[in-house]
Structure 1
Amino acid sequence: MTKLASVAMAGALVMAAAACGGGEGGGTEGGGDGAARVGLAYDIGGRGDRSFNDAAYRGLEQVAEELDLEVQDLAAEADETDADKVARLQLMAEEGYNPIIAVGFAYSGAVAQVAAEYPDVQFAIVDDEANDLPNLTNLVFAEEQASFLAGAAAALATEEDHIGFVGGVENPLIQKFEAGYVAGAQHINPDIQIDIAYITQPPDFTGFTDPARGQAAAQGQYDAGADVVYHAAGASGNGVIDAAVANEQLVIGVDSDQYLTADPEEQPYILTSAVKLVDTAVFEFVQGAVNGTAEGGTVRFDLANEGVGYSRSNTELIGEYEEQLDELQQQIIDGEIEVPTEP
């Protein structure tokens, strides 16, 4: 039994393996001897957040199905340290996983250390570009651009000229969501009232994993008169959606198209989602790594390359605003609108 399998049996790791037929994986057959084995390590919250981590998992599923490769995903533990993250990535590298994807900015220090220790392994990190290593690809997104469209949608849909934003943890990444959202709403209505709330402050990152506190934060905004709330709060956003349903008010999802992951009773209240194609980023990185074309450095996904955007699934709500939102999207792409990245 390998070390990685031993740890998994002890309950420290959540594993998912797949070797599906029919794909093409850089000249090797998936699941066979010599085929690439792909590892993915989640940020806090793991699968089931219906947002960021689930988007990464969809990319991993696509790798298994279309590239016919063995894949394994590993979950983070609550209150873990950087040393725990380092150990997780080291285990994967020792077991022959290559490439390896670290999901979330919290892996920044860990992935830099382990990538330097294993120069023949190709690594990627989602949502961080602090490190410059030849075998580390930084997969980052223009969240502020998608959030600008979310803010514009909120300002168009509100009946009270009063909207809200709930962030999971107040750090520079989530502030990009806030900045874009506020700018988009004010572009439509400079006098709109916007309530801002963060669930926790660093170094407390439980703001991404506490739906009850997410619900409480959103409830406070609905009680104050907001009728549309946008969240960038990871799994805590599920509580924001709960509050929207309870109050029969609108909510805007994040990262994934949360209309598609919502329960039927939730869907009527999901105006749109500010999406970032983490699944596409994961798949394209693995495809490049297997084909030998992945490089170190930063790959940025934005409106121009369709790496971010807004969802259109709830046609009954968002349909009447699509023409205006598409015009704003093109203005951002053309550089006519510059979207701020800081509040």
Structure 2
Amino acid sequence: MRTPWTAPACVSRPRPHCSAACCTKPHAGSTPSGAAPRLRSDFRAARTLALVVHLAYHMGLIGLPGSSAEPKAAAAGHYGCNFIGLNEESVMEREPSRIRLAHVPTPLEPLRRWRPNLWIKRDDMTGSELAGNKVRKLEYLAAEALEQGADTLVTVGDVQSNHARATAGVAARLGLDCLLLLAGEAEPAEWCRGNAAVDRCFGAQLDWQPAGQPIAVRLQHAAEVLRQQGRRPYLIPEGGSCELGLWGYIQAAAETKRQCDELGIRIDRVLCAVGSCGTYVGLLLGAKLHHWPVRVTGIGISSSAERKVRSSLELARRTIERYELPIDVSGEDLEVHDYAGLGYAR
């Protein structure tokens, strides 16, 4: 039987070779190198964008300058499939509580050097320490945590997880404790750079297992231990991708549609990376709810496209049922393509 850990013991003391408290490894092991912390989030975001555009081009969804190829036309009637729209007021009535953390609206900018009618939604500008798509979901999840009187945010992710870093940042901003349950292989130097270093700068406690218990089991075990210690944990699933977290991108879809209307541009396809499926499903539901006739296409960055479609459909239907949304989603609405690389953050 695994010995229960206590939250204060999850992080060891700083190594003597390093003056930064962030350069510690959560469990005993090889001594990390003295490499200075470096952030890779911007590079990874740019690389993901490049991969999405590259795949979209080879799929024939977009063309590039100098290319004679035209984007594939959508099937007739496709955008109207199972679509029932709501007005803005009706959607707002269903929206859960939210706290403002992100810098929104984020810009919608043209990428003219790639293609005249290709635009990018700059969600890398949602906030300095919280930049990226995760904070939009956390606005709703953190609001519920505060409503429930929680004092500790608990979530899961890879050693270099953007979601884990964003959760730690939100906890620090709101005066809450944070426990990150991390998994995956990591060299000693990994703990001195990137998100693993930033997590500690935010004061998060880390519990790392290279492999072993399923994520759901670890979350429940952590909650049980914290409650025994008199704490009030709030559990956040991987990527913040749950029915409540989806509202971040339901509203992001509405925000983007308003920007398109103001700029007088017509978008017929939206592409995004798909990991834990929350951003993708949120955009899909948001487009339906806000009368935005676009095709939402996902580029899978882990597991298989078949698994992503199945998970996305289940998540969409749970969200529709929970919030009684008068829309329907079927397999015909989902489009996810494989483009997984060597592994997470590689």
More strand by share: 1
Instruction: Give TM-score, length-normalised by structure 1.
Output: 0.31
